[in-house]
Homo-oligomer: A and B are copies of this chain.
């Protein structure tokens, strides 16, 4: 076989990272390493697509097999990620010309893009450069987002692990609060991510297995905050169970459409930044009901908590990275491997396929029938959907009492172009 048949691959991580995006990278690189007759080297973009635009490529072939294997249990984005959405070819042809220039210089024929909705849109645009700009390229999207809002796929890698973290954390903190409620803290509020959709907040509901179990209230971005109903529910919980445990999404809004985090007022410096609805809710309860409270904001802890990752999530993330390469080698193009659910209980899934054109810019919202009629908890339908996604534990190795995560060498590929590019 002629050497020219062998093309290198480009892989990049995009958008907010997760506890398992590196598991996808692991599946992808390990699989590529088994097909050296077709795929030469896997070059990773340093800090996502920016690495391609600036010709800042990482040579993953310099990493040992054991370090690549360790990606499967390491959170964060091993090659760096970024938030950079490509415009359409018509709007910013220069960026695409630059990509082709870099890809051609490094004999890149495969483009793997690991990210959420915006990233799949970017992958879709890049997949058009063959037809529109004459540079043939195999483009495969690899799904990832804690927001769980990609269409077609049953779920998104990253989400199951956040879900497991949130449900575990609210259960644990509620055991604590229940102990103290008689004479001290009666209300606990835990803020979770999810600006537009309540998937992560909903996951907290999995901790409730029977009546009275925490959390007693979930505040969803899908439900307009009704102060009166909410406070009545808080009082009811405290009276019935001795305490009230609450999961609140950062995206909860009032009737005016303002984020509660912002409606609570500006901070000491007069700045506003999303995050911080938990203290607003807690103070409201204190002011109106007099209950002593505690609150937590999990923030990045929730999406990086690899130590309590869902094994289902890790397995799926790895399988999607692996299948991305296999699809590419089968000659597929402009597609994204998906998780297809075959059965709820026992959970059965397999890898399917979606066209990038059908994935790009479509946001999967939570079905209305996943929220109870009072707006404060999840339904059985929601539980049936969510439950399998948190199944199984996949602990990382520990060293000196702490998770032993890998930091790659990330050695750069020698630049071949004289030109530079301004982002």
- Say whether A398 contacts B393, CB under 8 Å: yes
Docked Cα-Cα span, A120 to B164, in Å, equals 37
Q: A269-B287, A286-B271, A401-B391 are in contact. Are A300 and B176 (CB under 8 A)?
A: yes
Kindly identify which residue among B83, B184, B278, B402 contacts A164, using a CB–CB cutoff of 8 Å: B402
A289-306 contact mask (Cβ, 8 Å, vs B): 1 or 0: 000011111111101111
Q: Is A183 an interface residue (CB 8 A)?
A: yes
Q: A179-B76, A401-B164, A402-B171 are in contact. Are A271 and B287 (CB under 8 A)?
A: yes
- Say whether A300 contacts B173, CB under 8 Å: yes
What chain B residues lie within 8 Å of A167 (beta carbons)? 401-402
- Say whether B279 contacts A267, CB under 8 Å: yes
Q: Is A169 an interface residue (CB 8 A)?
A: yes
What chain B residues lie within 8 Å of A315 (beta carbons)? none
Docked Cα-Cα span, A401 to B386, in Å, equals 11
A176-189 contact mask (Cβ, 8 Å, vs B): 1 or 0: 11111111100010
Q: Is A24 an interface residue (CB 8 A)?
A: no
- Say whether A275 contacts B300, CB under 8 Å: no
- Say whether A405 contacts B175, CB under 8 Å: yes
Q: How many residues of A contact B (CB 8 A)?
A: 83
What chain B residues lie within 8 Å of A390 (beta carbons)? 400-402
- Say whether A307 contacts B304, CB under 8 Å: no
What chain B residues lie within 8 Å of A194 (beta carbons)? none
Min CB distance A250 to B, Å, is: 11
Docked Cα-Cα span, A173 to B297, in Å, equals 13
Docked Cα-Cα span, A77 to B174, in Å, equals 11
- Say whether A169 contacts B305, CB under 8 Å: yes
Q: Is A84 an interface residue (CB 8 A)?
A: yes
Min CB distance A52 to B, Å, is: 14
What chain B residues lie within 8 Å of A280 (beta carbons)? 267-268
Q: Is A60 an interface residue (CB 8 A)?
A: no
- Say whether A307 contacts B168, CB under 8 Å: yes
Docked Cα-Cα span, A310 to B400, in Å, equals 11
Min CB distance A175 to B, Å, is: 3
Docked Cα-Cα span, A190 to B304, in Å, equals 13
What chain B residues lie within 8 Å of A177 (beta carbons)? 76, 300
CB proximity to B under 8 Å, residues A302-319: 303-308, 310
What chain B residues lie within 8 Å of A171 (beta carbons)? 402-403, 405
Q: Is A47 an interface residue (CB 8 A)?
A: yes
Min CB distance A11 to B, Å, is: 14
Q: A265-B267, A275-B294, A398-B393 are in contact. Are A184 and B75 (CB under 8 A)?
A: no
- Say whether A268 contacts B265, CB under 8 Å: yes
Q: Is A16 an interface residue (CB 8 A)?
A: yes
Question: 4 smallest A-B Cβ distances: which pairs?
Answer: A76-B175, A77-B179, A265-B268, A390-B401
What are some 29 contacts across the A-B interface (CB < 8 A)? A76-B172, A76-B175, A76-B178, A77-B176, A81-B180, A83-B184, A167-B401, A171-B402, A171-B405, A172-B300, A172-B301, A172-B304, A172-B307, A175-B405, A206-B401, A207-B402, A209-B400, A268-B280, A269-B287, A271-B287, A275-B294, A275-B295, A294-B300, A296-B300, A307-B308, A308-B308, A390-B400, A391-B401, A393-B398
